[in-house]
Amino acid sequence: MSLLPITLYGDKILRKKTGKVTEIDNETIELIRDMFATMRNANGIGLAANQVGVDKQIFIIDISRVEGFEEAKPMTIINPRIIGRSEKNNKMEEGCLSIPDIRVDIERPEEITITFQDVDLNEHTITSDDVFARVMQHEYDHLQGILFIDYLTEDQKKEFKKDLDNIKNRNMEVDYPVTDPVR
């Protein structure tokens, strides 16, 4: 397993809608293994393929580090579609490995229903809530080219502009490998 460099704010692939996975080959399995190693090394709880520079509809989740969710099993989500959202929303603090050191409360549906495929391309439908739903929505957004900062108000965006510019230009420090700045 290898640690992959994480794409950061400003990298074009983070704004691109990712491509559907049509087959699972050894390269895809290795990518998923590397994504788990990369996510855990960076102390993350979710990671989308485009966050490691890959244009595929894949994200992984492991919320077992979150208090109260120690028994949660790691998941690989392929070709997801959110098919239901609760009317009730909640706010929770979010951060992102691609936007280090920025954390902010984001409002999202409290519960979602999602269809996806597993590593054998078998289809599943699950309904999730709480932290699990939050992470799923955050990672699903990545596959759509949406970042959590897109939910900020204009005033909040202005407040974080300098930080975002520093991330874009790699004028910050993180404890995990990241991509070089795009020129």
Total count of residues recorded for the chain: 183
How far apart are alpha carbons 128 and 132 in whole angstroms?
Answer: 6
Cβ contacts of 64 within 8 Å, gap of 6 or more: 70, 71, 72, 73, 74
The CA distance from 33 to 36, in Å, is 5
Which residues belong to the active site?
139
DSSP structural state of residue 6: B
- The token pair at 92 is 């929770």
Residue 104, H or E segment: strand 99-109
Beta carbons of 180 and 168 less than 8 angstroms apart: no
